[in-house]
Structure 1
């Protein structure tokens, strides 16, 4: 893969990747992070791909504008924690303090410090939820891991290993609990059959509202950037 830019206000980063299966140059914009990817057949020249991107520049910029801007985490930023907006405030103490309207984070690396704190809070909340739903289901799981996944909010392996996106801590608590129940239900049904959804309903209750929330707002959680 290689990185290039479309010049302009602002410049647009382009990722060029080659694929043996590609028959022509194709263009994709991720709705999660706004990444613009050009896929090239092995025999195509990079100059051809960049020319193709320039021809599609208006389309690219229109789609990026419709997607909305990323939120860079830093002092003064307003970001959701357990579904409630809090303002990030630099602190002089030694620990992160979460209040009803603000979150105080010691520096100097405020964004990195907050991300680590959120991951730990997510682990605590997801472990408690998974334990609760596994007990209701009558089945145990082998372990829990947290990742920053783009394509799914959670998974359950055939060995009973649960994986969750730590960004669920940014969603309302009922959404986090729904995802935990969803993955725990796979311990009994490794599919999405009617029997599976019956297990979700049995251990969680009505799940339509949190499922809909993820479909409508889940991508927004990936626009919160901690890499500044």
Structure 2
């Protein structure tokens, strides 16, 4: 197990992972950082898995070529806030101010402070949306937490705890609202049955465009790196 490379120009690093649950060999290319994970069942030899990866070399290189480069958030960077591109401008100030086409940030630790501000803005927007949808549904949720999740935009537990990715604040408002409605709908239906989607439709309306946006554009929100 561990790190291997698929030969070529350039070589492709592979992370081999053995899984007791896996029934077949599989390849996964991370949409966030381009890491390639080769998963194999418990009793499959490594050489067999590496041969499988070699057969998929053309597919792997096509996917890796489409990866978007990470964006370091800094003064001068253009960052989407509520779906609108805003240029980051550093000022000798303490707070953060949002304008139509730019966001002013402190000139000390601008990326760290901007990330904290975006989390709070996300909390405000998501709390408002969840309150509205929960009231329409007639079912309360217990709490809202925000994380920087990579595999999902939101979740709902049996106890009614809602979790969201704070990066939703970079998406258009209707996308954030859809994810809020989606998770609130789980308060009534803890599944993805037709009954669940009927609740989503009742709370939000036609959700197909929002789901399509998340599939086509959602991953781009993860490429922004907030480090000073």
Q: Same fold (TM over 0.5)?
A: yes
Gaps of 5+ in 1: none
Q: Does structure 1 retain, via aligned residues, the 8 Å contact 2:69–2:223?
A: yes
Residues 1:178 and 2:184 are matched in the alignment: no
Q: Any idea what SS the aligned residue of 2:66 has?
A: helix
Q: Give 1:89 shift.
A: 1.1
Q: What residue number does 1:129 align with? A: 129
Q: What residue number does 1:80 align with? A: 80
Distance in 2 (CA, whole Å) between partners of 1:31 and 1:67 is: 7
Q: What residue number does 2:68 align with? A: 68
Q: Any idea what SS the aligned residue of 1:164 has?
A: strand
Q: Any idea what SS the aligned residue of 2:144 has?
A: strand
Change (3 A) 1:55 1:91: farther
Change (3 A) 1:88 1:13: farther
Residues 1:163 and 2:172 are matched in the alignment: no
Change (3 A) 1:6 1:227: farther
Q: Any idea what SS the aligned residue of 1:175 has?
A: helix
Distance in 1 (CA, whole Å) between partners of 2:8 and 2:75 is: 28
Distance in 2 (CA, whole Å) between partners of 1:112 and 1:88 is: 13
Q: Does structure 1 retain, via aligned residues, the 8 Å contact 2:93–2:107?
A: no
Change (3 A) 1:144 1:70: same
Alignment of 1:197-212 (within 5 A): 197-212=197-212
Q: Does structure 1 retain, via aligned residues, the 8 Å contact 2:78–2:87?
A: yes
Distance in 2 (CA, whole Å) between partners of 1:198 and 1:21 is: 33
CA RMSD of aligned residues (A): 3.2
Distance in 2 (CA, whole Å) between partners of 1:171 and 1:53 is: 35
Q: Give 1:131 shift.
A: 0.4
**What per-residue deviation string (whole Å, max 9, x for no partner) do you get for residues 184-219 of structure 1?**
111111112222112112122222221221111111
The number of equivalent residue pairs is: 228
Q: What residue number does 1:32 align with? A: 32
Gaps of 5+ in 2: none
Distance in 1 (CA, whole Å) between partners of 2:106 and 2:163 is: 29
Distance in 1 (CA, whole Å) between partners of 2:143 and 2:24 is: 43
